[in-house]
Each structure stands twice: as C-alpha cells, then as structure tokens.
Amino acid sequence: MYILQQTLFSFEELMELELKERLHLFFSNLSLEPYTVKLRSRLPQGAKGFRRDAILRALLAAPLVGISTFTGLVDRLKSDIRFRYQCGFGVGSVPSIATFSRVFQKITTLNLAEELFLALVKECREKGVISGEVIAIDSTAINAYEQKQARHKSKNTGNGDWGAKKDSFGNTVTWFGYKLHLAVDTESELPIAFEVTPANVNDGDLGPVLIEKVSSSVPENEKPKFYVMDAGYDQLKNYEAAHKNSAQAIIPLNLRNEKEPPAGMTSNGTPVCSMGYEMVYWGADKNILKFRCPHILGKVDCPFGSAWCSASNYGLVKKVNIKEDLRRYSSPHRNTRKWEELYDQRTAVERVNSRLKVHLTANRLHVWGIKKVKTHLLLNMIVLLVGALACKQSLQKAA
C-alpha cells in the first residue's frame, strides 16, 4: 500500500489530477503573504482594486495549467469561473494584460521569484523532501521569444545568443536564446540552485558557480557528498570546486581533453604493475586510494608470480593520493560499480528539465531580456517545488 501511495502522487500524476484538485493541493502548500506585501506598495496606476496575492497566485497557476502568455491567462480567468475563484478573484472583472505585465515586471525588479524559490528549497529541506547528498548538474536550451539576430549583433549583449549542443545521437543542435543551468537533488528530482545565461556560455564554466551556490546554502554537516556531471564538465576547476567543498565530482573523462596519463597509470587513474597489468582497486581511506596486485587476487596469471614485485603474501600495494590529480583520481575510484551507480543518477537533472519543458512552460517564453526570462523560469521551478510539497502532504494524509 505504501508503494502504491508513492507512485500515486508523482509529479506527472499530480498533473493528471482534475484541475480543481490540482490547484487545491498546490495553493494549500503556498504561502505568499511575505511577497505580496512587497507588491502592494506603489503599484502602477491601474492595478488598484485587485488583490496582489490573487495576481501572484494566477501567475504561478499559469504554468501549472499550461498557460504561457498574459493574454492566455486573462482569457482563462474570464472564461473559467472555478479557475478565477481558486486564484483568488471574486465576481466581476479580472486584471488586464497590462496589469499582469506590470506586476511581472515588479516581481522581476524586486527579485521576488528567486526569494520565493530559495524559501521553498529551504522548506523542502526542512520537511525532508530534499536530501541533498547527491547533486546532478546540467544545462538545457531555452528558445528566445525575441527576434533572432546575427552572431556579431547578439554577442556580449547579455541577452539571447546562439548556442550549440550535441543531442543524444551526436548531432549538433543550434538555437537562439538562453541556457538554464540547474543543480538538482537526485533523490527528490528537485532544483536547488540555478543560473540563467545566454546560450553561448560554456556549461563547464557554470559548474563551480552552482557548486558554490549549493554548498553555501546549507550547514557544514548537510553539504552534498557528490556532484554528478557529464563529460562536458570535465575541467579541472569543477573537480577543484567540489573538493574545496568536501565533495567528490563524478564526471566521465572527456577523451578530447585527454593527454598521456602519468607513467605507470592508465587514463582512469589505475596504477599498473611492472608487468603492465592494471592493479585492483581495494578501497579508499579519505583521500588515499589503495590498489593491490592483480595476480594475488586472481585477476591475471602473471608469469613471474607475485614474488617478483613483493615478498609479502599480501602482494604489492600501491597507494594514490587524490590531491595529486583531482581530475584523474576519484573516490570511489573511477568506473567502479559505485562510481557508475552515482553517475547513473545524473539522469535526474534530465527528468527535471523534461518536466519544466514538457509538463510546464519553461521553453515557451513570452517575455524577452534575460532578467524577465529568469523570472519566467523561476515561476516554473517554483511549481515543481510546491508540487513536491503538495505530494508529500497527500502521502501523509493517505498514510
């Protein structure tokens, strides 16, 4: 029964609930008073008479029901009485498109969406929704709403630009717009830190930024143990950023960046014995990796036996300090079962990107300029966090 309850309230199935149930669950886990207070002061002429919490609720409900424009939101409020009441508007008129646009601008100017996002991440941690032990980092393409420009015109504007990435088939895909860089808790599959950049920014350059954001937001004893990234992040600075924050970066080696390994080592950091056989990984003690004779352990049949290298029955032992080469050496050792299991968790960030773009409206921009794009994306990420809190509440009630 418990397993059934776990699957019953996944985010995907939450989206399949009747709209009245979905919005009720969503709004019951969302306290907006601290943010609407800031919206009440000096709102532009024309917004008077509409509850600020209702306007903000409507802006958050929009991605939840697949609405990506202010025009679509106003039309829905006018045509759907139940939706209008659940957002907090009573009988009568609803805010105009211009009013929603002005409030959206003020949310952007005051950075209220990011403030709400960070508060929800903290709440998810406190309620045990986010564990934060393993963090997956990756970026996703966001197509711009503004008109495409030639590269020489879009370069260094800080807004939309041209980007290129390899798809799962190895084909190069280009787009004009932005990148959403996410750090995701792999257990809960929730975003906990982010950056929005023009599309031409290299993924690897944002790794240290996201690691620092995640690490600085939690107490020392709650810091992540692993940061999982794909081969595009195989740069020394990402390993150094993780190590600086008492964590291990789990990143495949990018063979295009590979040079000759040190003498007596394979590319993945495994020592070789004097006969050229790879030694066997035998565990780690903090920063020290231990490797043993492959002949003694029955992995190879060395013509000289083990006595040639060591007089001990235990066989030759080599130890490697991870600090000697943070990129090549890893704990757990690169390509071991434990390392592979950790790397497999990287797919969590891909699923988050899919939910943001398929179930919600992250890739259907109706605003331009990186600051407004950031607010649009934040509203979508907030929906994921509130949705997770709603799922937890439902599970507790069903238990």
Percentage of the chain lying above the pLDDT 70 cut: 92
By DSSP bridging, strand 226-228 and strand 248-250 are parallel
Alpha-carbon Rg for the chain in angstroms: 26
Say whether pLDDT at 331 is over 70: yes
Lowest mean pLDDT across 65-69, 183-187, 309-313, 373-377: 309-313
Q: What residues contact residue 95 under an 8 Å CB cut-off, 6+ apart?
A: 47, 50, 55, 58, 74, 77, 89, 103
Please report which confidence band the pLDDT of residue 186 belongs to, taking 50, 70 and 90 as the band edges. Answer: very high
| pLDDT attached to residue 42 | 54
Arithmetic mean of pLDDT, 298-318? 87
Through-space distance between the first and last CA atoms of the chain, rounded to whole angstroms: 9
Q: Which domains does the chain have, with CATH numbers?
A: 2-118+370-398 (no CATH), 131-254+345-359 (3.30.420)
User: What's the order of all strands across the beta sheet hosting 317-321?
Assistant: 280-285, 288-292, 317-321
The backbone region for 246, taken as left when phi is positive above 0, alpha when psi lies in -120 to 50, beta otherwise, is: left
| pLDDT attached to residue 219 | 86
Say whether pLDDT at 5 is over 50: no
| pTM of structure | 0.90
Arithmetic mean of pLDDT, 350-379? 95
Q: What count of Cα atoms within 13 Å lies in the side-chain half-sphere of residue 298? A: 0
Say whether pLDDT at 327 is over 60: yes
Please report which confidence band the pLDDT of residue 170 belongs to, taking 50, 70 and 90 as the band edges. Answer: confident
- List the one residue out of 273, 82, 117, 101 whose CA is nearest residue 196: 117
Residue that wins the pLDDT comparison between 2 and 208: 208
Taking the CA atoms of 44, 49, 52 and 58 in sequence, report the sign of the dihedral they define: negative
Give the C-alpha distances (Å, rounded to integers) separating 43 from 51, 94, 115, 367, 373: 11, 16, 19, 20, 21
Say whether pLDDT at 140 is over 50: yes
Q: Residue 80: is it exposed, middle or buried by C-beta count within 10 angstroms (0-12/13-18/19+)? A: middle
Q: Could you give the CA distance from residue 396 to residue 399 in angstroms, rounded to a whole number?
A: 5
Structure tokens at 127: 């309620």
| pLDDT attached to residue 396 | 64
Say whether pLDDT at 35 is over 60: yes
Structure tokens at 206: 């944002």
